[in-house]
Structure 1
Amino acid sequence: MRNAAYYLVFFIFFVVIILPAVVVKSCSDLLPERTGEPEKVDKPGGLMVSLYVTSKNSIEKIPLEEYVKGVVAAEMPAGFKMEALKAQAVAARTYAYKRMRSAGGTGCSLHPEADVCDDPTHCQAWITRGEMLKKWGIFAFYHYYSKISQAVKSTAGMVILYQGKPIDPLFHSTSGGKTENSEDVWGNFIPYLRSVTSPGEETSPRFVAVKQVPVNEVVSKLRQKWPDIVLDPRNPERQWKVVERSEGGRIKKIQIGNRVVNGTEIRELFQLNSTNFRWERVGDNIKFTTVGYGHGVGMSQYGANAMAERGANYVDILKHYYTGVEVKKIEGLK
């Protein structure tokens, strides 16, 4: 019994103290130290990305393919199918390639000295290996990192082109069944960002969401946003009417009292998951029910995973969500 207790204590000590220390140490060794100095390229001709890291308020140079791994880890669930992860890797690489100044790109508009930043509201999210460890935990880290590395390596150098030029590969979590035309969201017609069907997204935890907002808060926010708005403060929802829907089925224009506003404005004002929403009065609240998550333009990540589960490869996925494109390897890019 004493020997059993001893081994049990040793096992717990090993798992709780020793193993995490070893894993963290090994993870910290995976990337060069962040000195701010340019890193050496492992392979001749390999491209480096100038990345503005928001948390450090500094620019770091890392190999393009290492950058892509960090984006895939940050932007897509690592448990997704391999072909979906490959599609995300190619989209991430294309986004960076289009902006890399060394490849003739314009760089990051918010940080002129960088090619891209890690702010997902402006460029693409990106995380370090240490952050991956925290995100996934010790026991899942090596499996997920190996999986993402395989997705990136097997698509090395591949980018998405439209008429020979790299695209803006916009993506989002969940379309709700059909993606959006670019002009229905931002007003600009982009030929490869067309509305397409996106079945099989019901597995997304945000496929349908409900949010209740107190009536007085609804009225207050509407008046703050549009001071000249006229509506019944007791029953404002009775003066709401959908004026126009997008091809993807989302609310493009909606009448609120005496004003007609964009669905995107209402989504932002009440922090809704998407512009595909309906509303109803429930007691002293207005209940919003949304379908989908994100702007809805470009590749749906949950839709991509559903395609992968049905046997589609990453090229099939990319050509489905980006109309009229080609997926091509650029020599010297990896």
Structure 2
Amino acid sequence: MMKSIAYYLIFFIFLLVIVLPAAIVRSCSGFLPEKLDEESQMVKPRELTVSLYVTSKKRIEKIPLEEYVKGVVAAEMPASFKIEALKAQAVAARTYVYKRMRSKGGTGCSLHPEADVCDDPTHCQAWISTGQMLKKWGIFAFYHYYSKISQAVKSTSGMVILYQGEPIDPLFHSTSGGKTENSEDVWGNFVPYLRSVTSPGEESSPKFIAVKQLPVSEVVSKIRQKWPDISIDPQNPEGQWEVVERSEGGRIKKMRIGNRIVSGTEIRELFQLNSTNFKWERDKDKIKFTTIGYGHGVGLSQYGANAMAEEGASFIDILKHYYTGVEIKKMDA
């Protein structure tokens, strides 16, 4: 009798712990995302839609604007962030696409002329579908995070960032390292709302400080490939490096490499460093780069935004801090 009860108990635990969760995951992955996608992509009368080029599918999809914004927030910012930071990201994402919507006189996506934007983060904004959100977060976190992002988007519905009455280019990045950059220090163009501002509290970022070591031979090889006419000591290249100019944000703007003056951005790209706020030192047969921050450093710092939210700042406070002289308003329908 006791053995039978034990067998039944083991079988019940097996069903509860193994079979049921697996069935839930299969069920949700099979039907939930598609159902959400179908419902979300049903365009209501007079509702603004985004023509999105989906790279993985190599086609353009029409998506309601607010649903598109959810996909951007889910792709671009950790869903565990404070709700006010998510709201700030939602408004920035909406502003970005609104400025480019062809139905509103925007220029659209230069890589895909028939689309407003694409989902390639190196060109436009990242974006993921609800199915991709499920894979990213897992079934048990999906409902919580999706609901949280939906709340952030709904509570800021229609809001965009304006400078002198026009939508801005709301650039953003992961981690500034304590201070953001002026636009001209990175790309050469002065943009009045993209000014350098302090960004405290970013130490929680996993990429606040990073170390990368490269063999001296590789460093020399990359430099010579980039600048074939450069004069540099292959045994002691770092001995001929010198910072010439720093930006207002404290990053390397220009530096001397041998007989050439190069930009910090060129060195960052050449050695695939996290930012242009870096220093170097020799470590035997390697050169060790230590970087602070992650990204170009212009505009909104995502980890800085979350730090502000943790201190009680609203999404409007966050946006007005990182974008100088702007206002946040409901867009015209």
Q: How far is 1:308 from its partner?
A: 0.2
Q: In the TM superposition, what whole-angstrom CA distance separates every residue of 1:232-252 from its partner, at most 9, and x where no partner exists?
A: 100100000000000000000
Letter in 2 for 1:115: D
Aligned to 1:31: 37
| Counterpart-to-counterpart distance in 1, 2:178 and 2:90 | 23
Partner of 1:32, secondary structure, is helix
| Counterpart-to-counterpart distance in 2, 1:239 and 1:306 | 39
Aligned to 1:248: 249
Q: In the TM superposition, what whole-angstrom CA distance separates every residue of 1:230-278 from its partner, at most 9, and x where no partner exists?
A: 0110010000000000000000000000000000000000000000000
Aligned to 2:84: 83
Aligned to 2:43: 41
| Counterpart-to-counterpart distance in 2, 1:282 and 1:77 | 35
What is the correspondence of 1:159-170 to structure 2 with a 5 Å cutoff? 159-170=160-171
Percent identity of equivalent pairs: 76
| Counterpart-to-counterpart distance in 1, 2:108 and 2:42 | 21
Q: In the TM superposition, what whole-angstrom CA distance separates every residue of 1:260-319 from its partner, at most 9, and x where no partner exists?
A: 000000000000000000000001000000000000000000000000000000000000
| Counterpart-to-counterpart distance in 1, 2:321 and 2:189 | 20
Aligned to 1:20: 25
Aligned to 2:207: 206
Displaced runs of 4 or more, over 2 A: 12-17
Q: How far is 1:124 from its partner?
A: 0.1
What is the correspondence of 1:169-208 to structure 2 with a 5 Å cutoff? 169-208=170-209
Q: How far is 1:16 from its partner?
A: 4.1
Aligned to 2:10: 5
Q: How far is 1:11 from its partner?
A: 1.1
Partner of 1:195, secondary structure, is coil
Letter in 2 for 1:21: R
Q: How far is 1:50 from its partner?
A: 0.2
| Counterpart-to-counterpart distance in 2, 1:164 and 1:28 | 39
Partner of 2:37, secondary structure, is coil
Provide the TM-score with structure 1 as the length reference.
Answer: 0.96
Matched residue count: 327
Q: In the TM superposition, what whole-angstrom CA distance separates every residue of 1:134-170 from its partner, at most 9, and x where no partner exists?
A: 1111110000000000000000000000000000000
When residues 19 and 323 of structure 1 are mapped into structure 2, their CA distance, relative to the original with a 3 A threshold, is same
| Counterpart-to-counterpart distance in 1, 2:19 and 2:147 | 24
Partner of 2:231, secondary structure, is coil
Q: How far is 1:331 from its partner?
A: 3.8
Q: How far is 1:33 from its partner?
A: 9.4
Q: How far is 1:12 from its partner?
A: 2.8
| Counterpart-to-counterpart distance in 1, 2:133 and 2:234 | 47
Q: How far is 1:3 from its partner?
A: 2.1
Letter in 1 for 2:111: L
- The alignment yields a C-alpha RMSD, in angstroms, of 1.2
Partner of 1:41, secondary structure, is coil
Q: In the TM superposition, what whole-angstrom CA distance separates every residue of 1:80-118 from its partner, at most 9, and x where no partner exists?
A: 000000000000000000000011111001110000000
Provide the TM-score with structure 2 as the length reference.
Answer: 0.96
Letter in 1 for 2:46: G
What is the correspondence of 1:1-334 to structure 2 with a 5 Å cutoff? 1-24=6-29, 25-32=31-38, 40-42=42-44, 44-332=45-333
Letter in 1 for 2:330: K
Q: How far is 1:59 from its partner?
A: 0.5
| Counterpart-to-counterpart distance in 1, 2:276 and 2:90 | 27
When residues 12 and 217 of structure 1 are mapped into structure 2, their CA distance, relative to the original with a 3 A threshold, is same
| Counterpart-to-counterpart distance in 1, 2:191 and 2:65 | 26
Partner of 1:323, secondary structure, is coil
Letter in 2 for 1:41: V
Partner of 2:210, secondary structure, is strand
More helix by share: 2
